[in-house]
Amino acid sequence: MSNFTKVNVGQEARTELHDKLSLTGAEISINNLPAGASVPFVHSHKKNEEIYAVLSGSGKAVIDGESVELNAGDWLRISPAAKRQFFAADNSPISYICIQVKAGSLEEYTASDAEIG
């Protein structure tokens, strides 16, 4: 049995990697909205914070009623309880990754969790 999983994804509107990669500690989705489109719902979470990375394009997130402009290269963290919805700009598509993890669950990271050799 291999200690890794590799997949290749296309340009679908949304691809969730939880099942495709057999993830056990996070959900990751790749999202592509065409110009002028939006996620068709407002949502929040019970336990999971979300980290967004804008890969290309521009748009905005409306978080608890506040509009946050988004552009390629931006990173955004949203707490579980915040109500959020995403929009592509009228003249630009937007592509972003969403990483969903349980808030407060990170105990070790980078060097403190690494083993050399």
Mean pLDDT of all residues in 47-65: 98
Mean pLDDT of all residues in 45-63: 98
Confidence of residue 116 (pLDDT cuts 50, 70, 90): confident
Q: What's the rounded Cα separation, in Å, for the pair 114 and 37?
A: 41
Q: What is the pLDDT of residue 68?
A: 98
Q: Which residues contact 105 (CB under 8 A, 6 or more apart)?
A: 25
Q: In this structure, what DSSP letter does residue 79 have?
A: -
Mean pLDDT of all residues in 62-75: 98
β 48-63/66-71 pair status: antiparallel
Q: What is the pLDDT of residue 115?
A: 84
CATH superfamily of 14-103: Jelly Rolls (2.60.120.10)
Confidence of residue 11 (pLDDT cuts 50, 70, 90): confident
β 27-33/48-63 pair status: unpaired
The yes-or-no verdict on residue 102 having pLDDT over 70 is yes
pTM of the model: 0.90
